[in-house]
């Protein structure tokens, strides 16, 4: 999202020059893998997270569709190979879409079983699988559109290699109550993403008190990645003035 108008090399260089230690992106196969691995290494960056590849039949993922187990396994195998190559330790499994012909509880059970089966494979690779809630305002038909659904699935799996991906933008739109949810569930959260609603732009452009959110993460002992997943109001500015340099690492 940040730096999208730029070529890959310029985007990675801009991240490094701004003082950030890592990058994340949606789908790794959108980039030449040799170039991506080289550029990340040359700039001393880490890959914080990427997403499992979707498919034409499941553009939002396979984890909660009872008929998509084989497709999920293929994409998980591919993602873990790429994670090893990129030295990435967190992968977003993509939560998939709501199937109206199937009860929500059944879909949750499918996700629990599928992630439970995947957890030992992820553990062997040293990779944490994250399940993200996606708001159903921007994306009608999301299966997991509230933190309660995702957290219940993660808790039921019961593996340290399966965690909830807490996206401030999506969950402020759906439910708010950000700080209390973080405080009560931090042990189940494996990745945090930030953008300011309603425009999904940089912090300070919307309704969330991000200094308070970031201070809360510090206070409750969160020590994993906090990623910037927003559309900059100026796509070419690369202005991170809202975040002091000392907070970028």
Closest by CA to 108, choosing from 66, 72, 69, 136, is 66
Residue 118: its H or E element: helix 104-125
List 24, 71, 202, 229, catalytic entry: 229
- Nearest-angstrom CA–CA distance, 154 and 163: 6
Q: For helices 210-219 and 178-185, give the axis angle rounded to 10 degrees.
A: 10
Which tokens hold the place of 13?
């260089």
Which tokens hold the place of 126?
């040293």
Position 216 scores a pLDDT of: 98
CA-based radius of gyration for the chain: 17
For the question of residue 84 being annotated catalytic, the response is: no
- Nearest-angstrom CA–CA distance, 248 and 244: 7
Position 1 scores a pLDDT of: 59
Q: Report in angstroms the alpha-carbon separations of 111 from 63, 68, 210.
A: 5, 11, 31
pTM given for the model: 0.95
Closest by CA to 147, choosing from 175, 113, 127, 110, is 175
List 46, 132, 202, 207, catalytic entry: 132
Per-residue pLDDT of the chain (249 residues; tens, 9 = 90+): 576 778 899 999 999 999 999 999 999 888 889 999 999 999 999 999 999 999 988 998 999 999 999 999 999 999 999 999 999 999 999 998 999 999 999 999 999 999 999 999 999 999 999 999 999 999 999 999 999 999 999 999 999 999 999 999 999 999 999 999 999 999 999 999 999 999 999 999 999 999 999 999 999 999 999 999 999 998 766 678 888 888 887
Which tokens hold the place of 71?
């497709």
- Nearest-angstrom CA–CA distance, 152 and 188: 10
Position 3 scores a pLDDT of: 65
- Nearest-angstrom CA–CA distance, 170 and 176: 9
Q: Which CATH class is domain 8-247?
A: alpha beta
Distant-in-sequence contacts of 174-178, Cβ < 8 A, 24+ apart: 174/133, 174/135, 174/136, 174/137, 174/145, 174/146, 175/146, 175/147, 178/208, 178/213
For the question of residue 101 being annotated catalytic, the response is: no
Break the chain into its structural domains and give their ranges. 8-247
Burial label for 191, CB within 10 Å (0-12, 13-18, 19+), is: buried
Position 244 scores a pLDDT of: 83
């Amino acid at each position: 999202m940040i730096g999208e108008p730029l070529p890959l090399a310029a985007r990675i260089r801009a991240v490094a020059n701004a003082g950030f230690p890592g990058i994340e992106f949606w789908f790794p196969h959108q980039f030449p893998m040799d170039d991506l691995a080289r550029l990340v290494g040359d700039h001393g960056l880490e890959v914080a997270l990427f997403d499992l590849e979707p498919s034409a039949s499941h553009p939002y993922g396979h984890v909660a569709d009872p008929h998509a187990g084989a497709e999920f396994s293929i994409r998980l195998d591919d993602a873990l190979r790429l994670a090893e190559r990129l030295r990435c330790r967190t992968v977003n499994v993509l939560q998939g879409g709501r199937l109206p012909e199937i009860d929500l509880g059944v879909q949750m059970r499918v996700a629990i079983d599928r992630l439970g089966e995947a957890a030992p494979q992820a553990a062997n690779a040293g990779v944490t699988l994250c399940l993200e809630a996606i708001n159903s305002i921007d994306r009608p038909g999301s299966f997991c559109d509230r933190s309660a659904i995702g957290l219940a699935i993660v808790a039921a799996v019961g593996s340290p290699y399966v965690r909830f991906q807490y996206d401030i933008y999506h969950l402020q739109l759906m439910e708010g109550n950000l700080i209390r949810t973080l405080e009560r569930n931090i042990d189940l959260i494996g990745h945090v993403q930030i953008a300011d609603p309603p425009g999904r732009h940089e912090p300070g452009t919307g309704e969330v008190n991000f200094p308070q959110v970031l201070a809360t993460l510090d206070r409750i002992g969160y020590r994993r990645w906090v990623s910037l997943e927003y559309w900059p109001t100026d796509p070419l500015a690369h202005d991170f003035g809202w975040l002091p340099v000392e907070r970028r690492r």
